[in-house]
Amino acid sequence: MTPRMTAQRIDGKAFAAQLRERVGTIAAEFEQEAGRKAGLAVVLVGEDPASQVYVRSKGKATVAANMESFEHRLPEDASEADLLSLVERLNGDEAVDGILVQLPLPGHIDEQKVIAAISPDKDVDGFHVINAGRLSVGQSGFVPCTPLGCMMLLTDRLGDLSGLEAVVIGRSNIVGKPMAQLLLDANATVTIAHSRTRDLPAVVRRADIVVAAVGRAEMVKADWLKDGATVIDVGINRLPPEPGAQKGRLVGDVDFGGASEVAGAITPVPGGVGPMTIAVLLRNTLVAAHRNAGLDVPESL
Ligand code: GUN
C-alpha cells in the first residue's frame, strides 16, 4: 500500500486574522460615512472565568477593528428584571449596533427570555427566534457566528458545495441546526446526526463534508471518514492532565492524528474554527451598523 498523503490543514487562525483586518478597514470607512463608529455591547453576568476571558478578547478585538466596545458587567445575583432592563436600554441606544449577552447565564435567569428581549436587528449572535426563522426561510438576518465561520472556511476550501453530501454531527440551536441550514442553502445534501443516530460511523462515511459539533473529545475516528473528506471540527474539549502536567491538552471532537491520514482537509484544534467565531461576530456587528445607519452593506463583508 502506498502511504497516505496527510490532509491539508485548514488554517482558521490565518483566515480569521484576514477577516478581522478586512472588517477593520471597512469599519474605518463606515466611521467616515456615518460620522460615528460601529458599536458592540457585550453583557456579562457573574464571574465565570471562561466567560470573562471571552468577553475580554471580544472587547479587544472590537477596538482593534476600529469599532466601539461597550462592556456591561452585572453581579452574579443580578435579577432577570435588571438584565432585561439593561437589554431594553441597549436596544434603544443609537451608539449600539450589536448586543451580545454572554452565555451561559446564572441559573435563576431564563436565557430564552433574555434572547427574546434583544432587538432582532441588534442580535449579532443570531440567537433570536426571528433570526433563526429568517435563516430557515432564506431571508437576510443574522446567522450565528460559529456556523457562519465554518461555512466561510468550507467555501474558501471547496468553492461550490452543490450536490455534496454533508453530515453535521450535533443538533444544537447555536451550531448544528444553523450549520445544516447554511449547507442546505448552499445546495449540499444534508444529514443531521445526533446521539440517537443509528450506526453513526456508517452515516459519516457517506460524507464529503463532516462538521463535528458534539463536545465529545476525539469521538470521530479515522475509519469513519471517506477518503478525501473535508472535516470541520467545532469541538473544544480539554483532556484530563497527563501525569505531572497542570492542564490537559485541548482537543476537538475528531481524532486529529488519525483523521489527518484519511481526510483531504481538516481544521486543527486549537487554531481552526475557534478563532473564526470572534471574527464573524465583528463582521456581523459591522453589517448591523450599516443596516442601522441606512447604508448598503459592502459585498466584501
Ligand atoms: N458563550 C460561548 N459562546 C458564545 C457565543 O458565541 N455567544 C454568546 N452570547 N455566548 C457564548
pLDDT tens-place string over residues 140-154: 999 999 999 999 999
Q: Which domain holds residue 210?
A: 144-275
Instruction: Check whether 158 has a pLDDT greater than 90.
Output: yes
Q: Is 101 in the pocket of ligand 1 (CB under 6 A)?
A: yes
Same domain? For 248 and 156 the reply is yes
pLDDT (mean) for 273-288: 98
How many distinct structural domains can be found in the chain? Answer: 2
Instruction: Check whether 54 has a pLDDT greater than 90.
Output: yes
The whole-number pLDDT of residue 209 equals 99
Handedness of CA 155, 157, 163, 164 (dihedral sign): negative
Percentage above 70 pLDDT, the chain: 99
Query: Is 177 a catalytic site residue?
Result: no
Q: Is 125 in the pocket of ligand 1 (CB under 6 A)?
A: yes
pLDDT bin (cut points 50, 70, 90) of residue 3 is low
- Cα of 174 vs centre of ligand 1, distance in Å, is 9
Instruction: Check whether 2 has a pLDDT greater than 60.
Output: no
| Residue 261 within any structural domain of the chain | yes
Same domain? For 156 and 260 the reply is yes
pLDDT tens-place string over residues 113-132: 999 999 999 999 999 999 99
- Cα of 64 vs centre of ligand 1, distance in Å, is 20
Q: Is 87 in the pocket of ligand 1 (CB under 6 A)?
A: no
**Picking from 1-5, 42-46, 111-115, 202-206, which range would have the lowest pLDDT averaged per residue?**
1-5
Query: Is 139 a catalytic site residue?
Result: no
Are 127 and 156 in contact by the 8 Å Cβ rule? The answer is no
Same domain? For 60 and 182 the reply is no
Same domain? For 227 and 170 the reply is yes
Same domain? For 40 and 159 the reply is no
Amino acid code (one letter) for 55: V
pTM: 0.97
Of 44, 45, 174, 175, the one to substitute when testing ligand 1's pocket (max ligand atoms within 8 A of C-beta) is 174
| Residue 31 within any structural domain of the chain | no
pLDDT bin (cut points 50, 70, 90) of residue 43 is very high
| Residue 28 within any structural domain of the chain | no
Same domain? For 148 and 110 the reply is no
| Residue 49 within any structural domain of the chain | yes
Cell of 244: 505531572
Are 100 and 125 in contact by the 8 Å Cβ rule? The answer is yes
The dihedral region occupied by 130, where left means phi > 0, alpha psi between -120 and 50, and beta the remainder, is alpha
Where residue 83 sits, what CATH number does that domain have? 3.40.50.10860
Residues 6+ apart with CB under 8 A from 88: 117
| Residue 135 within any structural domain of the chain | no
| Residue 269 within any structural domain of the chain | yes
Are 204 and 197 in contact by the 8 Å Cβ rule? The answer is no
Same domain? For 162 and 271 the reply is yes
Same domain? For 223 and 153 the reply is yes
Of 69, 87, 120, the residue that ends a domain is 120
Percentage above 90 pLDDT, the chain: 98
Q: Is 284 in the pocket of ligand 1 (CB under 6 A)?
A: no
The whole-number pLDDT of residue 5 equals 72
- Cα of 102 vs centre of ligand 1, distance in Å, is 5
Handedness of CA 159, 219, 9, 241 (dihedral sign): positive
